[in-house]
Amino acid sequence: MDTQLTIEDAKQSLNAHVAAKGVEIREKYGPHIGWRELTQILNDRSCVRYPCEIVFDVGPLQPGELAYPMARGDSPDAGFTLYVHPLFMMQLEKVPYVALYQLVMVNYGEFASADDAETFGAAVLGLARDAYYQTLCELADEIA
């Protein structure tokens, strides 16, 4: 019997993987994930596949965007600059919420969806996905 994976199977598989990875990161660095833990996560290649540095700069962000990971070169191995809205520079406790959402793009590129980002961030922070999403919406309202 020939079984073929569908695109939906692949999406579900990635979502399950990011959920498991999020739990793994929480077990390693949690239960509280704050600024200090986030910087440790960013430097741990078992958590973040490529070098990633946070810069507080609105320049590359679209209106209403909280953060964006920009590749430093043609290859992901060159690393990423994670631009975070400067409003959060004085609210470092909120940066993990914003950054974790973007780390799925750093790790999985264009294959990652918003669902994957929400699943991952919620798993790392130990939140229900809906609660994590609600927090992201509240943070977006702060910059609106």
Stated pTM of the model: 0.93
Residue 4 covered by a domain? no
Q: Which of 56, 132, 123 is nearest to 90 (CA)?
A: 56
Q: Is the pLDDT of residue 1 over 80?
A: no
Q: Is residue 1 part of a domain?
A: no
The amino acid occupying position 100 is L
Tell me the mean pLDDT in the region 79-95.
97
Q: Kindly state the average pLDDT of the residues 20-39.
A: 98
pLDDT score recorded for residue 118:
98
In a domain, 3, yes or no: no
Query: Looking at the domain assignment, is residue 121 inside a domain?
Result: yes
Residue 3 φ/ψ region, left for φ over 0, alpha for ψ in the -120 to 50 degree band, beta for the rest: beta
- Quick one: pLDDT at residue 102? 97
Evaluate whether residue 43 is within a structural domain: yes
Q: Which domain holds residue 136?
A: 18-143
Residue 111's pLDDT is what?
87
pLDDT band of residue 2 (cuts 50, 70, 90) is low
Residue 27, domain member (yes or no): yes
Domain-embedded: residue 117: yes
Number of domains within the chain? 1
Q: Which residue has the tokens 């929400």?
A: 118
Q: What is the pLDDT of residue 58?
A: 96
